[in-house]
Chains A and B, each alone.
Chain A
Amino acid sequence: MHSFHHFSRRQALCSAACGFGSLALADIAKAMNPLAPRAPGAPAKASRVIFLFMAGGPSQHDLFDPKDFIRKRHGQPIDSPLRPEVTQVGTEKFLALGEVAPVRPRGKSGMMISDLMPHLASVADDICLLRGMNADNPQHASATNQFHTGVFTEVRPSMGSWISYGLGTENSNLPSFVTIHAPGVRTYNSSFLPAAHQGTPLTVPLDPNSLPIENLRNASKSESLQRQRLDLTARLNRRLVGELEGDREMEGMIQNMELAFRMQTTTPGLVDLSGESRATLELYGVNGKETDKHARACLLARKLSESGVRFVQVTMDGWDHHGDIAGNIPRLCRQTDQPVAALLKDLKQRGLLDETLVIWSGEFGRTPWSQDLSGTAPISKHGREHQPESFCAWMAGAGIRPGFTHGETDHQGYSVVAGKVHIHDLHATMLHLLGIDHTRLTWRHLGRDFRLTDVHGSVVREVLA
């Protein structure tokens, strides 16, 4: 009914897809370019989003929200708040598991952050901690789908795709939505939205043999041979379009082939970090033994965002600590803490944090009680089970109230008692900061007007600056 931007299905079919296509589109039909930049419906605080996805579900008890109640009962059984019908595996005893390292007040704000994240602690006054996060599904695949698309089972557009659809791209040489180390196609698919809004998956090349995107290596023995071949294909294609007296889809494909040829040479430059100063590389931890991969990814995220990519996602996985959380979570923190904090510092230094919204979250959190799949391990080797009922995330940058802690969980860190932020609310807030009313960003599909927030969601006013 209130379609945000109207495209017919036919236009959708003809649109060049996967970001990089915008160049070609500009030539084909300027008027219908789905990636053309658009002013949002309301004043926007943020122009772009960087989403740092901690796949696996980081433990909020160990990082941000420990509980005295649990610490005092470490190793002792506590009452289960769960329905008895829910199957328990390795958690049947409901043993309290205290945090694995001290969590202390930081900065002027006194925000609680673990010793495991000293770099994040140093920028505590720049972030807004959400302790009342809430999702609906305890399984990775479903919860990841919900976090990215708003629903668990159906295939729906990812939030990056919705934002691309709502706002287009600021830089016509780049896609509007890039996802670095994507955890599965459904986290960046555009579903029923035009394919131009699909995320472009990138891999940060850690060695000379890996490619940032697939099929980037010339199949011919030399570039001139390949050029020769593409010229023949192009001539054959143009003759056919001429005989048919026009075909937009085929014309799009002719343009795309040229674009693809250029991508072979330009993409390596896009992911090349050699232009960055030594200080910047060191800030992120590039070449650091444990930090290298995520440092490169975060630095690339800044580069892309700075160049105008609307939605950049960086996925850092390995947070699924069912066992030995005391051994595992410090390692994950060592890998991610410095790169993540560096990204905030770098954005701030460049004056970009004011217009960039940064979000850090897993698909869910973990239980305050322990899990032991072996059934025989000592409590020191236990881990934690998935917990969507409450977990922590943080937001920073454009329009976000810095140094603020929002939301509270009960005595044992299971239920949210105040400041609950459901995934739908997070989505609504993110869109709001981009100047988009989440109830009006819709797409008609199978007769229904779909939204990222389905029929839910409300903007979390408390976290706005």
Chain B
Amino acid sequence: MNSVWLATILIPYAQPADTTAFTKEQTDFFESRIRPVLVEHCHKCHSPDAAIIKGGLRLDHRDGLLKGGDSGPAAVPGKPDDSLIIKALRHSELRMPPKGKLPGQVIRDFEQWIKAGMADPRRAEKPVETRKIDIEQGRKFWAFQPVKDPRPPRVSDEAWPLDPIDRFIRQKQDEKGILPVKDAGKHLWLRRVTIDLTGLPPTPADINSFLGDAGPGARERVVDRLLASRAYGERWARHWLDLTGYADMMGTSNNVYAEHAWRYRDYLIGAFHKDKPFNRFILEQVAGDLLPAGSALERAGNITATGFLMVGDVEIVEPDKAKMEADHVDTQVSKIGTAFLGMTLGCARCHDHKFDPIGLEDYYGIAGMLRSSPSTHKIPFGVWSQLNATKLPETAEQAAARKEAEDGHERKIVSMVAERENLTAKKKAVESELAANKDDDGRRAGLAKQRDDLAEQVRKLAAAIQHAEFFRSKAPMAYAMGDGANPSDMPIHIRGNPYAPGRVVPRGVVRVATDGRFPPIPEGQSGRLQLARWLADNRNPLTARVTVNRIWQKLFGEGIVPSVDYFGARGEQPSHPDLLDHLAFRFMADGWSQKKLIRAIVLTRTYGLGSANSQAGLETDPDNRLLWRMNRVRLDAEAIRDGLLAASGELTESGGGPALVLEEVENCGSLARKGVNPPNYTHRKPRPTQEFQRTIYLPVMRNNPTADDRIRAFFDFVNPAQISGQRSRTVAPTQSLFAMNNDLFRKRAKSLAGKLMSRHAAEAARMEELWLVVYNRPITPAEREEAGRFLRETRERASEARDAETTAWIEMCHALLASNEFVFRL
């Protein structure tokens, strides 16, 4: 299946006019020694007999060798050493045939044949099929068309819409003759909007204040309060992290920790919290290091933002550094493609994209910019590389605070060293005493124990000193991009192989999504700044559409384009193309403000609909693509954990900071600066506060999961090697086991029960509050009766337990926390 712009062109193969006269001897050599080998070992993949001609190379006629394939000409007559086919047969740069090297005599025959002029009487029997990308044709696809500002349509019930957005929705429903369901009640709407915007449920106080606000604009006031909260930044920063491959580990191998990665996470929380305009947000993440800054703080932020291109699964242990660099650049190109453009750019690393009008040139145009900005360096020992870290500029106060911290740290080292000397001296004294008491067994036992205790203390102290010395510097650092010394265009890597360079392509951007010419890259610059400006340009047809669609997906559970990460030819079509453009246009017109867009969306009639089914809706549109009701969404791992902590009253605020607990010696692997491996990290000893902090502040591990925090392993947390704007939503019995038995649920149930019991003496009041904090709505009479019966029966059953009353309340709290009304947002 070829897309429209992948024109299949049949090129009749030109027959050379000049048929070089070869001697009979030469032709005989070809017929007896060369042709049989070609037929037996090569034709299966490199002739029209092949289902797909591999590497675009044909070996069934002489011109096929001369023209060559993706890797360039296969042979240069007279020059066997310059002929790719010889290199391939020798298994040097390429390895052919792939199944195993041919005998030495055969290779020598080929060398001789090429050296003697490559006598070959064969002519092409079948024409060659070539595919070419047609950029102009490609631009006709909807996603590459400029964003329009469609007029909001008239609808059947003009009183229904609250916002132009509602008109686009209602109009599609009118076309199908579907009616939207009734509006959600106040409690449901408040729970929904609070969870969507902050990832936390509303508190009883939030509920009361909303219910008590009878004036016009009550909903607006709720939304403004939520958007202004830091919790909003924490929630939406986590959505963005799913598009970055973020973890507190550099790569998957050996758990080498990424100690500064948290600064990028904190940067994101701040950026969302302060509603940094999205176009500025792009500039900073792709090229923040190249932007002018008015202050040390701003500069530090800009540098930290480029962590976007640094975090991710980097195979820093790869001993072949050319390969490592190419792979890392690939993850960067792919990330830019997915996160901002909704395009699978990575496909064009080895060949032109099969479905979309994106070619090798587009890929290597961007890759050249990233290769001009090296982001790793080799460490002095072993095979390892590490991510480049930049020291961040500090304000005077920050510098002073750091000086003080470092001085204190030095004093600590000095005192530990003194203590070690002291203990060593004591140990020596005990040892000599032992030597002096050779015969007194009673005394010896005590002394030996004393000596061993001291030895153990010295050992621990030595480890602590080594640790303190290793983490001596308190200078703020961030993993950050920087332009290299010699920015330059790069060659295409044939079939993605860094050792097979093809033609050099100029640095540039995705041509099909470009309006006009890409500006020249100033001498000595990587081009990232120009790339960033192109991504963030109002004329870029993809960026705004992809971004508003992501926001819509987070608020409705499904995107207008359901394949949120892929807007290409094989992606899904937008259900409401005009609405998508309306949102994108409005987003840009509002200065790329995410908060303004989110505010508008959650205040629509559509967002405020109930989530129950209607028979008519189910019949006409069972997948609810027309949004005749609100989609129900199971909470993600973070919202479940954070919601549990909020409901039990145990959630503690955090200002951010390191997720890894590097200050605990036992979490760090060997810190010796020699050896083969860089230090690693195991999350053996969490910080006591971490149990109660929001999930975004917990370490994200790649390979050795944290033992104390397991919910992300069960509830579809995105694997940090993956760039994915939408979590999968699985329904697994292991999740039920988790909710039934894991300590995360059990401890929260206990705390909640304790809180209810200490706060209210009366059963009814406890129940009222339980329903309000877990379901965020009042208990119904039927539920009150049911709960009363449950408590009676459970007390009876637990009569042998020490405290049957407490047991009954814990069980009831646990039952509610594990129920669907809590783990879904309706």
Q: Does B569 contact A (CB under 8 A)?
A: yes
Residue contact B98 to A420, C-beta cutoff 8 Å: yes
Q: Which residues of A contact B740 (CB under 8 A)?
A: 215, 218-219, 226, 230, 257, 260-261
Residue contact A215 to B797, C-beta cutoff 8 Å: no
- Distance, CA A177 to CA B510, complexed state (A): 42
Residue contact B797 to A224, C-beta cutoff 8 Å: yes
Q: Given A229-B814, A236-B815, A140 and B253 touching (CB < 8 A)?
A: yes
- Distance, CA A152 to CA B734, complexed state (A): 28
Q: Does B15 contact A (CB under 8 A)?
A: no
At the interface with chain A, which of B24-32, B203-211, B272-280, B315-323?
B315-323
Q: Does A351 contact B (CB under 8 A)?
A: no
Measured CB to CB, the closest approach of chain A to B813, in angstroms, equals 10
Q: Given A184-B703, A226-B740, A20 and B322 touching (CB < 8 A)?
A: no
Q: Which residues of A contact B391 (CB under 8 A)?
A: none
Residue contact A244 to B632, C-beta cutoff 8 Å: yes
- Distance, CA A186 to CA B713, complexed state (A): 12
Nearest A residue to B612 by beta-carbon distance? Answer: A244
- Distance, CA A155 to CA B723, complexed state (A): 9
A176-210 contact mask (Cβ, 8 Å, vs B): 1 or 0: 00000000111001000001001010000000000
Q: Given A132-B100, A184-B703, A235-B786, A87 and B611 touching (CB < 8 A)?
A: no
Residue contact B721 to A85, C-beta cutoff 8 Å: no
Q: Does B741 contact A (CB under 8 A)?
A: yes
- Distance, CA A116 to CA B253, complexed state (A): 30
Nearest B residue to A136 by beta-carbon distance? Answer: B323
Residue contact B612 to A243, C-beta cutoff 8 Å: yes
Identify B347's interface contact among A215, A229, A420, A448, CB under 8 A. A448
Residue contact B721 to A155, C-beta cutoff 8 Å: yes
Measured CB to CB, the closest approach of chain B to A418, in angstroms, equals 5
- Distance, CA A153 to CA B346, complexed state (A): 12
Q: Which residues of B contact A9 (CB under 8 A)?
A: 562
Q: Given A87-B383, A185-B719, A221-B807, A416 and B100 touching (CB < 8 A)?
A: yes
- Distance, CA A185 to CA B714, complexed state (A): 11
- Distance, CA A130 to CA B797, complexed state (A): 62
Q: Does A246 contact B (CB under 8 A)?
A: yes
Q: Which residues of B contact A241 (CB under 8 A)?
A: 820
Residue contact B820 to A221, C-beta cutoff 8 Å: no
Identify B732's interface contact among A89, A195, A226, A240, CB under 8 A. A195
Residue contact B101 to A415, C-beta cutoff 8 Å: yes
Q: Does A29 contact B (CB under 8 A)?
A: no
Q: Does B736 contact A (CB under 8 A)?
A: yes
Q: Does B731 contact A (CB under 8 A)?
A: yes
Q: Does B759 contact A (CB under 8 A)?
A: no
Q: Does B761 contact A (CB under 8 A)?
A: no
Q: Which residues of B contact A257 (CB under 8 A)?
A: 733, 736, 739-740
Residue contact A256 to B815, C-beta cutoff 8 Å: no
- Distance, CA A237 to CA B824, complexed state (A): 11
- Distance, CA A37 to CA B530, complexed state (A): 54
Task: Please provide the chain A residues from 212 to 246 with a CB less than 8 Å away from any CB of chain B in the complex.
Answer: 213-222, 224-226, 228-230, 232-233, 235-237, 240-241, 243-246
Q: Given A261-B740, A415-B91, A448-B355, A138 and B319 touching (CB < 8 A)?
A: yes
Q: Which residues of B contact A13 (CB under 8 A)?
A: 728-731
Q: Does A465 contact B (CB under 8 A)?
A: no
Residue contact A1 to B737, C-beta cutoff 8 Å: no
Identify A447's interface contact among B569, B623, B820, CB under 8 A. B569
Residue contact A446 to B566, C-beta cutoff 8 Å: yes
Residue contact A245 to B566, C-beta cutoff 8 Å: no
Q: Does A419 contact B (CB under 8 A)?
A: yes
Q: Which residues of B contact A260 (CB under 8 A)?
A: 733-734, 736-737, 740
Nearest A residue to B796 by beta-carbon distance? Answer: A228
Instruction: Tally B residues with Cβ within 8 Å of A.
Output: 95
Q: Does B793 contact A (CB under 8 A)?
A: yes
Residue contact A89 to B382, C-beta cutoff 8 Å: yes
Q: Which residues of A contact B634 (CB under 8 A)?
A: 249
Q: Does B151 contact A (CB under 8 A)?
A: no
Q: Given A18-B732, A215-B741, A447-B569, A153 and B383 touching (CB < 8 A)?
A: no
Identify A446's interface contact among B318, B378, B563, CB under 8 A. B563
Measured CB to CB, the closest approach of chain A to B421, in angstroms, equals 30
Q: Given A18-B734, A447-B571, A216 and B741 touching (CB < 8 A)?
A: yes
Nearest A residue to B747 by beta-carbon distance? Answer: A219
Q: Does A57 contact B (CB under 8 A)?
A: no
Q: Which residues of B contact A417 (CB under 8 A)?
A: 100-101
Q: Does A250 contact B (CB under 8 A)?
A: yes
Determine which residue in A90, A226, A232, A256 has the highest number of CB atoms from chain B within 10 A of its CB, and name it. Answer: A232
B683-719 contact mask (Cβ, 8 Å, vs A): 1 or 0: 0000000000000000000010100001001000001
- Distance, CA A393 to CA B355, complexed state (A): 38
A300-317 contact mask (Cβ, 8 Å, vs B): 1 or 0: 000000000000000000
Q: Does B540 contact A (CB under 8 A)?
A: no
Residue contact A249 to B731, C-beta cutoff 8 Å: yes
Residue contact A17 to B719, C-beta cutoff 8 Å: no
Measured CB to CB, the closest approach of chain B to A115, in angstroms, equals 29
Q: Which residues of B contact A240 (CB under 8 A)?
A: 819-821
Nearest B residue to A259 by beta-carbon distance? Answer: B733
Residue contact B253 to A253, C-beta cutoff 8 Å: no
- Distance, CA A264 to CA B738, complexed state (A): 12
Residue contact B315 to A153, C-beta cutoff 8 Å: yes
Q: Does B252 contact A (CB under 8 A)?
A: yes
- Distance, CA A253 to CA B613, complexed state (A): 18
Measured CB to CB, the closest approach of chain B to A333, in angstroms, equals 26
Nearest A residue to B736 by beta-carbon distance? Answer: A260
- Distance, CA A446 to CA B313, complexed state (A): 20
Identify A233's interface contact among B378, B801, B819, B826, CB under 8 A. B819
Residue contact A420 to B99, C-beta cutoff 8 Å: yes
Q: Does B331 contact A (CB under 8 A)?
A: yes
Q: Which residues of B contact A96 (CB under 8 A)?
A: none
Q: Does A426 contact B (CB under 8 A)?
A: no
Residue contact A221 to B719, C-beta cutoff 8 Å: no
Residue contact B100 to A90, C-beta cutoff 8 Å: no
Q: Does B746 contact A (CB under 8 A)?
A: yes
Measured CB to CB, the closest approach of chain B to A252, in angstroms, equals 4
Residue contact B738 to A215, C-beta cutoff 8 Å: yes
Measured CB to CB, the closest approach of chain B to A316, in angstroms, equals 18
Identify A16's interface contact among B327, B355, B710, B732, CB under 8 A. B732
- Distance, CA A446 to CA B676, complexed state (A): 40
Q: Does B41 contact A (CB under 8 A)?
A: no
Nearest A residue to B611 by beta-carbon distance? Answer: A244
Q: Does A270 contact B (CB under 8 A)?
A: no
- Distance, CA A462 to CA B219, complexed state (A): 72
Q: Does B267 contact A (CB under 8 A)?
A: no
Residue contact A153 to B100, C-beta cutoff 8 Å: no
- Distance, CA A201 to CA B327, complexed state (A): 30
Residue contact A214 to B737, C-beta cutoff 8 Å: yes
Q: Which residues of B contact A254 (CB under 8 A)?
A: 820
Nearest A residue to B382 by beta-carbon distance? Answer: A89
Q: Does B798 contact A (CB under 8 A)?
A: yes
Residue contact B737 to A216, C-beta cutoff 8 Å: yes
- Distance, CA A155 to CA B728, complexed state (A): 13
Q: Does B251 contact A (CB under 8 A)?
A: yes
Identify A219's interface contact among B101, B741, B819, CB under 8 A. B741
Residue contact A419 to B99, C-beta cutoff 8 Å: yes
Q: Does A123 contact B (CB under 8 A)?
A: no
B580-596 contact mask (Cβ, 8 Å, vs A): 1 or 0: 00000000000000000
Q: Does B735 contact A (CB under 8 A)?
A: yes
Q: Does B112 contact A (CB under 8 A)?
A: no
Listed A/B pairs (30) with beta-carbon separation below 8 Å: A15-B731, A18-B733, A85-B321, A87-B320, A141-B253, A141-B703, A142-B252, A186-B721, A214-B738, A219-B742, A219-B743, A219-B745, A225-B794, A229-B815, A232-B786, A232-B815, A236-B816, A237-B821, A243-B612, A244-B632, A245-B613, A245-B614, A256-B733, A257-B739, A259-B736, A263-B737, A422-B98, A446-B568, A448-B347, A448-B570
- Given A15-B731, A256-B736, 4 extra CB contacts under 8 A: A16-B733, A138-B318, A416-B100, A446-B565
A-B residue pairs, 5 tightest by C-beta: A447-B570, A17-B732, A195-B730, A260-B736, A141-B252
